[in-house]
Amino acid sequence: MSVTAASGFTANGVACGIKPSGDLDLSLVATADGRPVAAAAVFTQNRLTAAPVVTTASHLARSGGRAAAVVLNSGCANAATGLQGSQDAEEMTALVAAELGCAPDEVLVCSTGLIGYLLPMDAVRRGVAPLVAGRGDDEAAGRRAAEAIMTTDTRPKEVLVERDGFRVGGMAKGAAMLAPNMATMLAVLTTDAAVAPDRLTELLRAAVADSFNAITVDGCTSTNDTVIVLASGTAGDVDKRALETALAEACLDLARQMVGDAEGHTKVVTVEVVGALSDDEARAGARKVAESQLVKCSWYGNDPYWGRVASELGTAGIAFEADKLSIRYGDHVVARGGVAAAVDEAALAAYMAGPELHVVANLGIGDGRARLLTNDLTHAYIDENMGTS
């Protein structure tokens, strides 16, 4: 179950012709009655901000944090498209608003795909009417919406978190250009809990920090990243702490699904840095390790070569004392006091060959800690990113 699991929401996905393949490429999440509800969003920090990001931010500001729908497309990012791109993003929202019977400012928009190309608006114009007309509140409708935002994803990503009296559902896409703040990723979450827009924004920011912003595939931050949550309120007031944890759990689940479907990966790797001077320093260290081409190649080769991990930590711009460093893969301590530790080679080799790795670097100089989810760097990643076709 997905964005349609919380009561009050409908969804759909259609193929309007943006993707030459004929796959689903236009997606909708809308309130059942077409009336606006509380909404919040978090956006990319890339200064090359895509047109739909600008449009969504301005609509939310003008509507006072309320939205009736989110329209999304895959196959074209509508980024680096200038004035025409802005007009196209605005037109997408106006088309949906006309079909839904709400104001254009009450429609949000997201795009994902290639940068630097104009949207084929004829295809979008043809697609909106059937997109809105065919929306449903069942599981299949939610699945169509999740499939219509896929790019190099190999599977749709959906989540449902159920709590006493309310639900949080969601869908997401993202497979490369994944980095903290944020990934090339779109996510739409829905809940039937009643919550004011300001509070919803706070909750979303906290949930994103510990989920989408704690994953990195290649250190590249996209132009279009957007996470949106809509709250229909049909379930009435709920426990605030319960809503906070449910939203965080849903975001984390979707973030894990992204890393688990990252382009060409063979392993999901948790990089944890502890014993740093501060949490921020731990985070900087973990990121340097997680984004290192050399370390990622080692993982791909099942190689526990900790020297590269240590070397990255030494250049992370954080406090570091070589002789205090210890590193372990799973339960296997590979370095202690800054030098190699004796290991059970066979057991370590078996661990490294597995699909999930957990590397923990203890800097031994403080209490700061952080953890990131990432992947290995593989031939298949290069294959996927050698060309735009």
The 8-class DSSP code of residue 76 comes to B
Q: How far apart are CA 32 and CA 34, in angstroms?
A: 6
Q: How far apart are CA 346 and CA 208, in angstroms?
A: 39
3-state secondary structure at position 350: helix
3-state secondary structure at position 242: helix
> Considering the complex, what minimum distance in angstroms separates the CB of residue 338 from its own copies?
6
Question: Which of 184, 216, 223, 226 is the catalytic position?
Answer: 184
Q: Is 25 exposed, middle or buried (0-12, 13-18, 19+ CB in 10 A)?
A: buried
269, 356 Cβ separation under 8 angstroms: yes
Task: Please report whether residue 388 would count as binding its own copies according to CB under 8 A.
Answer: yes
Contact mark string toward its own copies, 198..237, x via CB under 8 A: --------------------xxxxxx--------------
CB nearer to its own copies: give 192 or 312: 312
CB nearer to its own copies: give 237 or 315: 315
Task: Please report whether residue 158 would count as binding its own copies according to CB under 8 A.
Answer: no
CB nearer to its own copies: give 129 or 319: 319
Q: Return the closest-CA partner of residue 205 out of 43, 53, 71, 57.
A: 43
CB nearer to its own copies: give 88 or 253: 88
Whole-Å CA distances, 376 to 175, 203, 271, 296, 301? 13, 31, 12, 4, 9
Contact mark string toward its own copies, 287..326, x via CB under 8 A: -----xxx--xx-xx-x-xxxx-xxxxxx----xxxx-x-
Task: Please report whether residue 365 would count as binding its own copies according to CB under 8 A.
Answer: no
Residues with Cβ < 8 Å from 83, sequence gap 6 or more?
Answer: none
285, 371 Cβ separation under 8 angstroms: no
CB nearer to its own copies: give 166 or 381: 381
Residue 388 designated active-site: no
- Of 182-201, which residues contact its own copies (CB under 8 A)? none
Q: What share of the chain is helix, strand, coil (3-state, %, to 5)?
A: 35, 25, 40
Task: Please report whether residue 47 would count as binding its own copies according to CB under 8 A.
Answer: yes
Contact mark string toward its own copies, 114..153, x via CB under 8 A: xxxx------------------------------------
Query: Interface residues with its own copies (CB under 8 A)?
Result: 45-49, 77, 79-82, 84-85, 114-117, 176-177, 218-223, 292-294, 297-298, 300-301, 303, 305-308, 310-315, 320-323, 325, 335, 337-340, 377-379, 381-382, 385-388
Residues acting as catalytic residues: 184
